[in-house]
Structure 1
Amino acid sequence: MRFDFDIEQIGGAYRAAVEPRDLVDPAIWTGAALHVDSVSGDDGNSGLGTQDGDFASAKRTIHAAFTAGNATGAAYRVLVKAGDYAEAAFTRNGNDEPNQPVAVIGWDGPLRYRAGPFDVVWNDAGGTYTATESSVRRVFRCDLLTAEGHYTELSEAADVASCAATQNTWVHDGTVLHVNVGGAPGAGDIAVIRSFHGARFMTHDKDFYLENVHCEGGISGALHFDAVAARNIVGVNCSFRYSAPSNPTALQDAARVRRTDGLVAFFDCDASGGAKDGWSFHEDGTAGMHVLLQDCSGWRNGFSTATSCNGFTSHDGVRAILLGGDFGLSRNGTEVHVIQSTETWAAGCRTVARDVDGTSVAFKCSNDALMWLQDCAGDAAGQAENYALQANAGTVFTRGFAALAGGVDVTSGGSVTLF
């Protein structure tokens, strides 16, 4: 076995017997610690402290800490004081990436990054409220949450008059953003997602660890690893949401990892509100990706004209383990969809499919993929065809699988058997 750790069942929950920090280069934990403080920091400071958590000489932006850490020529940590980091503060809009093994950690609380402002001054325009915000891609209400605790998206109106006539809509008129939420929004009530990159790492090819990192927006995804690399990527207590495409024909996932030969592991993380998929894993010509998701989730993925949107999907020859967690309410797709020659074991997972394209599918196994479902539950309803489980040429093995709503469908030579 390439990555050797035990899976335990404690009560009704499945857990990997592993310490997440042990999965990345140990030099990260003994290397330099660069500190970042969005309020009191200064990018002219060294970023170094007398000990971890000493922010007296903190930098102001995360990308400035990357630049300083890279200059050491060795593994390092970026300790980010809990707070809000907006627009270009993460990677300078994709221009400054780490080039060493690195950890990015929200210190004493969540690091919140948004591809847009956190506070907006609104002006009464009679029927709508306006702000001068350019390159707006998606707009959400922060003061009105979904049942899963996520922001509620506003619909884009055709014009200003339509926006004024329809509550919970927005429209962009030149450089002026109009919103109608039925009253005056507070400064922090609206999440304006602009045309900035999220946590985008296109060249970094070494171990990467994230903890307490929460990203909103991103034209290439809220989280996106793309480089051909032999390395491990680990995330703990993070969220990646509301990716917003710069081009409506190039919709991007909330969290996407490609071309990584190694272990990609996330613990207690969420990928929701993506323009396309929530969690998306592709080898794309680089074999060897192994994925572990423990107690992770993906809800309400799919935006605008996007099709085939999934809460979780793996492609090519990816090997994946899903322990616990839930996925649901994707637009025009499947909640957990494994494709091509992937092999996936899911234990204790729950999916809720309520699609809009005529067919709701909770779990789906396609092509030559193999899927094992152990103590999982599929709930598919609301459409003309509803499948808690569909084997579309793929091979599925079940143990303790519950079809809470919807049937089991076998097509194109697929199969579903007990194990």
Structure 2
Amino acid sequence: MNNELKHRLLYIILASIILYAIYLINYRTSILLNPISAAILSIAFFSVVSIIIITLYPELIDPKRNLSKVDDFIVLIATTTFIMLSISLITNFGTDDMEYIYESLNFLFSGKDPYSMTYYPYYTSPTYLINGHIATNFIYPPFSFIIYIPLYLIIKLLNAPAYYINIVNVIFDVVLILLIYIEGRKKQDPFSILSVIFLYVLTAVAISPFYGIFVVVPATFLLLSYLRDDKLGGISLALATSFTQLSWLSLPFILIYKIRGKGITKSKQYLRYFLFTLVILNLPFLAWNYKAFLSIFTTDINTIPVGEIGLTVINYSGLFQLEPWFFTLSEIIVSLFLIYIYYRFFDILKESLWLYPMIISWFMWRTLTEYFFMWIPLLFTALYRENYNLPKIRINIKKDLMTPLFLILITLISTGVYHLNYFHRIL
């Protein structure tokens, strides 16, 4: 299969995915309640037609059939359509997270500490706690609401609906995908357009940014922290870390990636700006009310477990009721093991750093869809940077792998047995 045919096949796949996404979203959208959204969804059909025409006749874009230029034009059509569709589909906050973010800004601009206030979701479904109450505290790090300040001020100035704050999520979703596409384009990889396909898959199936899923924002900063070795990279890592606790799962792996990959001397600027930005963002709120601010160090153990995959499925199945502390302990044990594996075999596992947060997420008390899909776009870029001429290293299977794995299994099994006895005692 020649290179041009690969490109054109991907164009057809992209057109098919967009058409599927339009159909699926249109199925979920009430024409009577959202006539404008429905109309835009219908008009978006012609974006699919345009991509198909360009696929058949790429010389319409460039007489010399320069595939890079054709790729760029296809991506432009796809992302423009995505932005148009997404903004038209923003009709509510979508999640209590976004509603709480908006309320936290209301408190902040009223001179009140967002972490000391009580919240209530008036327009979205609440997050329920084990004790039957709902989550009423703001638990995300401060950059989770600071990033929305410019749009918040515009919304206030124009007296626009508050839920349009989700536009920030849409913008970052597109920025994330374009960064991945640009990285693939540097390699002249025909599969770089797959990132745009993934954009529509996420939208249609998993984590739609216009429905209040904000993980694309920290994912964008994590990507920048991965791609850049300078002060921008360090700042980006601090911004991601100061946005959501999910970013913390990747922090040890990114630091290992930078320090072992570039050396501690060359990483000093990166680390310095990371720490400086981290302090600047968090210290004011820590000083404002340190007891309230420390609520960001949470493992969700007080919430009702939510998830379709992961260890928590055992609870859902009714087979056995695991206590929240068991998940926390398992998460810590597995994290330490994966950090060891990544550090020990860094030379051959270097670009696999985004895989480990996904594995750790499987052991969490709450395993929402975005906990897993957040890392997939980042893996695209890792593929573009992968060195397939791996160095030869000697591995002592017994010492380097079997012994730590045995210790991990024994620890988890022992914890499980203890949990079983604990469970029977409380019954």
Q: What TM-score does the superposition give when structure 1 sets the normalisation length?
A: 0.25
Higher share of residues assigned strand: 1
Going by fraction, where is helix more abundant, 1 or 2?
A: 2
Based on CA coordinates, which of the two structures has the bigger radius of gyration?
Answer: 2
